Each structure stands twice: as C-alpha cells, then as structure tokens.
C-alpha cells in the first residue's frame, strides 16, 4: 500500500487541474500554447493546479514538453531528447513568441502558488535518468507537487528512490498502442502493476471510464483523476466517476469540486 505521504494530497480533489497549463480556451488567436510559460502563468493566476509533461534533454536538463517529436508544436521534426537546451533556443511553440521551457524555469514561475502535477515521459526501457533529474529539481521546491507516469516502472522508481514524493499511475484502455502485446495492454489498463509502484493516486482516461480497476482503487481511498475533460458536459459526467478532472479547452469554475 502507498505510504502516508498520500495524506497530503487533498489538493488532488480540491480544484480542476489544467492540462498542460491553461491554453486554447476559446481564444484561437491568443499566443498561449500548451506547456508554455504563458499557459503555466495563466493557470496559476486563475488558481488552477497545473499538469505538465517533462522529457530529459541530451544535456541532462529537463524540458516541459509533451510529444516525443518536436514537429507538432515547433514545425521542426526530430526527437526532443536528442537536443540540448541550447539547440532548442531558436524554436518557437506554434510559431509564436514562446520557447520550450525547462522544468526549473516553470517551477520558478509557479513558486508554490498552485500545485504542480508532473507527468514523467519516460521510455519503456529508459527509467532512471529523467526521474533522478526531476527529483533533484523538486528537492528545493517550496510548493505542493506530485509526479505521475504511464510507465509503471517510472512510478516504481520514485517509490524506491524518493518515496516522499507523491506519485500516480496514468492509464487508459491502451487500444491504440500497437507496440504493446494484448497481454501488456490488459495488464496496463487493469492496473496490474499496483504492487510494484504503489501509487498514491490514479489518473485514468475519461473515455475508458467506468472501469473496474480504478473503481476498486478509488473504493480503497486512492484519489481518481479523469483525463482529458474538454467541456462542461464531460466534466459533469466525470464528476459521477472520479474525484477530479484534468481539463483543457475551457475554463471550469475553479471551485466546482468544493
């Protein structure tokens, strides 16, 4: 079972969590891309906890970016993990004014104003370096935070090496993952790795809910987050299935869960 650190995670149930910051909320011409410092600041200013994604760069720095490949957000193809921070300085998110931020810059900007939920984008067989770098950045941070990952071995790394850091397991039905065997998909969507990683919470795709596995963990007291919620009707549905939502594309009442 998870350790007592889970007792400090009331914020996971308190306010809707902004997916990659607060971006694309009915203002198509606004230069507020996902995972940018502008989106992070918008979420913090509005009082939303922030979900963001991190990758390890070639120089050991931690970048806040979702995709493995740079092309969708920058127009330049290639894996982000092959680049150093200096190599990214000329790239702009969606052709606007914003660069890809580092996790250090992001934490400095948030400065404890709202909680931060960090999704560790670790390859299936690359556990360790990104987790360690993230842990070191969080060591001196004075604010609420948690980490999560689709990779149960990444979550297990935090259990072993940094058990004081709240950790969550992210899952869905994995039907769109041809690289996984049928048995692997079954294990991941059924949360079969719980004994290995002992998460403090579960983040499960709203499109895959209800599902018996997250239903059982919720019944045992682990917070259940539903992702990604993109409208008020979806938020209302999620409220019947989970304890909180990770949202984007609209701005729900920050106090809707209270």
- The domains of the chain, with CATH numbers, are 4-247 (3.20.20.190)
For residues 44-69, b (16+ Cβ closer than 10 Å) or e, as one string? Answer: beeebbbbbbbbbbeeebbbbbbbee
**pLDDT given for residue 125 in this prediction:** 85
- Digits of tens for pLDDT over the chain (258 positions)? 344 345 589 999 999 999 999 998 767 668 999 999 999 999 999 999 999 999 999 999 999 999 999 999 999 999 999 999 999 999 999 999 999 999 999 999 999 999 999 999 998 889 999 999 999 999 999 999 999 999 999 999 999 999 999 999 999 998 878 888 999 999 999 999 999 999 999 999 999 999 999 999 999 999 999 999 999 999 999 999 999 999 999 999 888 765
**pLDDT given for residue 25 in this prediction:** 79
CA-based angle 246:257:107, to the nearest 5? 50
**pLDDT given for residue 26 in this prediction:** 66
Residue pair 158/136 in contact by the 8 Å Cβ criterion: no
**pLDDT given for residue 179 in this prediction:** 85
**pLDDT given for residue 30 in this prediction:** 83
The residue ranges of DSSP E strands in 144-198, in sequence order, are 145-149, 167-171
Q: Of 151, 161, 160, 172, nearest to 225 (Cα)?
A: 172
What's the burial of 251, exposed, middle or buried (CB within 10 Å: 0-12/13-18/19+)?
A: middle
Q: Of 52, 101, 98, 94, nearest to 76 (Cα)?
A: 94
Backbone angles phi, psi at 56, to 5 degrees: -90, 125
SS3 of residue 241 by DSSP? coil
Q: pTM here?
A: 0.95
Backbone angles phi, psi at 214, to 5 degrees: -65, -25
């Amino acid at each position: 079972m998870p350790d007592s650190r889970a007792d400090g995670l009331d914020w996971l149930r308190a306010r809707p969590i902004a997916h990659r910051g607060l971006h694309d909320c009915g203002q198509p011409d606004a230069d507020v891309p996902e995972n940018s410092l502008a989106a992070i600041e918008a979420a913090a200013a509005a009082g939303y906890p922030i979900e963001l994604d991190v990758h390890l760069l070639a120089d050991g720095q931690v970048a806040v970016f979702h995709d493995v490949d740079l092309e969708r957000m920058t127009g330049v193809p290639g894996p982000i993990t092959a680049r150093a921070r200096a190599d990214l300085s000329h790239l702009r998110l969606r052709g606007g004014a914003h660069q890809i931020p580092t996790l250090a810059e992001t934490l400095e900007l948030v400065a404890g104003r709202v909680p931060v939920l960090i999704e560790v984008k670790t390859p299936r067989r690359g556990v360790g370096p990104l987790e360690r770098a993230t842990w070191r950045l969080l060591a001196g941070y004075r604010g609420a935070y948690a980490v999560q990952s689709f990779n149960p071995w990444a979550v297990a790394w935090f259990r072993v090496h940094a058990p004081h850091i709240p950790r969550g397991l992210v899952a869905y039905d994995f039907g769109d993952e041809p690289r996984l065997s049928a048995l692997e998909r079954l294990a991941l969507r059924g949360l079969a790795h719980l004994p290995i990683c002992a998460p403090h919470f579960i983040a499960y795709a709203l499109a895959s809910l209800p599902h018996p596995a997250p239903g059982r963990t919720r019944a045992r007291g682990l917070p259940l987050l539903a992702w990604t919620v993109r409208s008020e009707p979806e938020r209302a549905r999620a409220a019947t299935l989970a304890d909180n939502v990770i949202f984007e594309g609209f701005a729900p009442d920050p106090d809707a869960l209270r």
